[in-house]
Structure 1
């Protein structure tokens, strides 16, 4: 454990917290207001609830734990520590933003705009955390793990997993509502991929060195 603590860099922690703050801001002020959602584990839990009657509180917890466990086995303990920091950071920042009224209460009336702006917030924030080596959510842990196993860029892993869930969701969600979610997952995945190519001279994480 001491060896892992020695690997933790302050600059990396600050980047993780910045990414978590941006993600919390975007989800609270854009996604929660516009109802333009992402795919991934969230969409899968809703699918399981509809078809099997399994509560998202149960399926979400189990799926997230499995994703982090797999990430730990493949990416190591530093990944787990950084993921814990980013996850806690997201929860804290989201709680802070909840104390205020949404900044864009009418954005739901412009779903196309909401899908694009929401994708930018998600893409930049998660891309930043993943670049440093942390996973704010189980989806990110899964994507980072699959990138280690398969010779596929991470943006395509996000896209394939999200499209799979959204396609399955068509069994109970009208296509007119899925189309904006489809747009946001395509854009956010590409932004995450672009963030992996950005060089951060102040990032000292071993994950940055691997890119």
Structure 2
């Protein structure tokens, strides 16, 4: 597995933040604004002001983001504010850019298609931004402030703020757009979760066998994966036995199963999926030790 250097990782993260914000703004301009769908967060506030006053969505979003950034700087500190600054500026910038370049372009009048593509676009773009280590800012900040001041749960207060923003938009939107807006929120929540987990899931395998030494050697030689030997005891006969613990990629699992069963067809194997693995061979380079 090739690992990025520190500078390469920083450059990749910076590029991801730019791409994520550009994609988010494009999704809003192409699918949210033409269809009249409602949404939460700072974008929801900007859309509500746009419907009532006619002010550009990008301008209102910039004002809301800056206000929330200053609040976060004051209450949560300089480090948090710096982490949030990129999205505070980039999201409104790209939204103004897409508004100018695309004008009143409408890709489709189908509300279902707009709902689905808006959900996927927002979920993927937010996932890219968050994976790069940046905060999305905006209305994510007030719940953190309330948590620091009054120890209120962040998830609960965030839900309340989103509900208020959705309700404010629903007052000026047709029922159909409001209902589809709720569906879109569900879609982008699911997609965001999948994007955050993308590429980090691995498979954990535990193998109990009388031929554990042979299986262990085969895993080293044929899969180039590490193995931890756990010392256990059979619950029925109370005899000592070795338990092999290894973490492999999802694609390597079929090979590992065939390899183990070829050596010991009666081996006992437990397979489970883990959401994240860090350490040698995964988040760090492998460290091969020469035999003495």
Shift of 1:79: 3.6
- Structure 2: 5+ residue runs without aligned partners? 1-8, 201-282, 284-292
Q: What residue is the counterpart of 1:38 in the other structure?
A: 39
Seen in structure 2, the aligned counterparts of structure 1 residues 128 and 177 have a Cα distance that, compared at 3 Å, is: same
Seen in structure 2, the aligned counterparts of structure 1 residues 71 and 163 have a Cα distance that, compared at 3 Å, is: same
| Structure 2 residue 176 is the aligned partner of structure 1 residue 176 | yes
RMSD of equivalent CA atoms = 4.2
Shift of 1:103: 10
Seen in structure 2, the aligned counterparts of structure 1 residues 63 and 195 have a Cα distance that, compared at 3 Å, is: same
- Structure 1: 5+ residue runs without aligned partners? 1-7, 201-208
Deviations 1:161-189 (A, max 9, x none): 42343235444444223111111122223
Q: What residue is the counterpart of 2:19 in the other structure?
A: 18
Seen in structure 2, the aligned counterparts of structure 1 residues 89 and 165 have a Cα distance that, compared at 3 Å, is: closer
| Structure 2 residue 162 is the aligned partner of structure 1 residue 162 | yes
Deviations 1:69-89 (A, max 9, x none): 454467653442242223333
Seen in structure 2, the aligned counterparts of structure 1 residues 143 and 114 have a Cα distance that, compared at 3 Å, is: farther
Q: What residue is the counterpart of 1:83 in the other structure?
A: 84
Q: What residue is the counterpart of 1:97 in the other structure?
A: 98
When the two structures are superposed, what TM-score results if normalisation uses the length of structure 2?
0.49
- Give me the whole-angstrom Cα distance separating, in 1, the residues matched to 2:38 and 2:129: 20
Q: 1:39·1:181 contact (CA, 8 Å) conserved in 2?
A: no
Q: What residue is the counterpart of 1:206 in the other structure?
A: none
SS in 2 for 1:180: helix
- Give me the whole-angstrom Cα distance separating, in 1, the residues matched to 2:68 and 2:132: 18
Q: Which moved more, 1:16-25 or 1:130-139?
A: 130-139
Counting only pairs closer than 5 Å after superposition, residues 121-140 of structure 1 correspond to structure 2 as 121-140=121-140
Deviations 1:25-48 (A, max 9, x none): 21222222222231233444638x
Q: 1:87·1:135 contact (CA, 8 Å) conserved in 2?
A: no
More helix by share: 1
Seen in structure 2, the aligned counterparts of structure 1 residues 96 and 169 have a Cα distance that, compared at 3 Å, is: closer
Q: 2:62·2:88 contact (CA, 8 Å) conserved in 1?
A: no
SS in 2 for 1:38: coil
Seen in structure 2, the aligned counterparts of structure 1 residues 121 and 140 have a Cα distance that, compared at 3 Å, is: farther
Deviations 1:101-135 (A, max 9, x none): 3696242x211110110111111112222333323
How many equivalent pairs are there?
188
Structure exhibiting the larger radius of gyration computed from Cα positions: 2
- Give me the whole-angstrom Cα distance separating, in 2, the residues matched to 1:69 and 1:176: 36
- Give me the whole-angstrom Cα distance separating, in 2, the residues matched to 1:44 and 1:189: 19
SS in 1 for 2:39: coil
Q: 1:80·1:134 contact (CA, 8 Å) conserved in 2?
A: no
